[in-house]
Amino acid sequence: MTALMYVVTAVLLLGGLGGIAYTFVAPSGETSKKRLAAAVGPQVALTGGRNVAETGQQRRKNVTALLKELEKQQAAKKQRPTLRRRLEQAGLDITVRTFWIISAIVALVAVAGCAMTHQSPAVDALAGFAVGMGLPRWVIAFLTKRRQKKFTLEFANAIDVIVRSVRSGLPTTEALKIVSKEMPQPVSGEFSKLVEQMKVGVTMEQALKRMYDSMPTSEVGFFSIVMSIQQKSGGNLSEALSNLSGVLRDRKRLQNKIKAMSSEAKASAMIIGSLPIVVMLLVYFTTPDYIKLLFTERMGNLMLAGCAFWMACGIGVMKKMISFKH
């Protein structure tokens, strides 16, 4: 009987690990390449068939090289950034030392709360570690996501401002200054940094790379690639940026459509994921002696840990099923 239990446990563990591996499978980058090709759009042809062929070939080489650079940037984005960089991406004007001080204060508050409820020292230590190390980072991730969402919402309008400014005869640097002054935050802040860096001698390509490091979104990556292509190959900048603005607006419409179509599946996943916890709380409040064995007995603790593990696997798989890459 014991051997059978070990076999069943091993099978369940392997199945859970497989579910976790499926959850974190990364998508391919073919979609980004298609969108970038649509954003660059048709280029103005030069007089003479030979010049047109040479210019088109050179532009294709530049696009290929810059696409590889975009892939490198996306690969670097997947790497864990430094704490200073994450604070910058979240828009927080604090130092790393201040962050650690805040984390320590939060951990002490959690430990004091556990001590007031007469918890064991092990629980106090685990609560302090979890709250002190997890809660501040969750806040940074939340602020970063919210800031990127606000930036993406106004970024297409900022590109339209650049297009209108260039078509009216203004140079590119003046168009960027207009965006830095007229657009709301965080768009104006990022373009202000871009303009200030170019004032002190930083090239546009380097300044755009720093902008991507500060705001690592696909939209900024597309913008930097289009600007670099036009700077190296020439052509109609306003037309290329206009095409990019159209691509970004179409992407936003696609996001809203996906959100509407997947709302039912997300609601079902939320209900299924919260149902075991709700049932456990109801049983605890109605018949506490019936469920206390899970917390007082060793076998009950192991069963509770197994349930938490499988719940995490199930929630991860459901999240993978309702998350659509676009």
With both helix axes pointing from N to C terminus, report the angle between 121-167 and 218-233 in degrees, rounded to the nearest 10.
40
Q: Which amino acid is at 43?
A: Q
Placement of tokens 């960089």 in the chain = 85
**Taking all residues of the chain, what is their mean pLDDT, rounded to a whole number?**
76
pLDDT at 283 over 70: yes
pTM of the model: 0.62
The predicted-structure confidence for 13-56, as pLDDT tens digits, reads as follows: 555 555 555 544 444 455 555 554 554 454 444 444 455 455 65
How far is 290 from 307, CA to CA, in rounded Å?
A: 17
For 217, the token pair is 């979104």
The predicted-structure confidence for 154-196, as pLDDT tens digits, reads as follows: 888 888 888 888 888 888 888 888 888 888 888 888 888 888 8
How far is 252 from 262, CA to CA, in rounded Å?
A: 15
For 222, the token pair is 């597309």
Q: What angle do CA 159, 165, 168 make, to 5 degrees?
A: 145
How far is 273 from 307, CA to CA, in rounded Å?
A: 12
Q: Rounded to the nearest 5°, which phi and psi values hold at 195?
A: -65, -40
Q: Are 74 and 29 in contact (CB under 8 A)?
A: yes
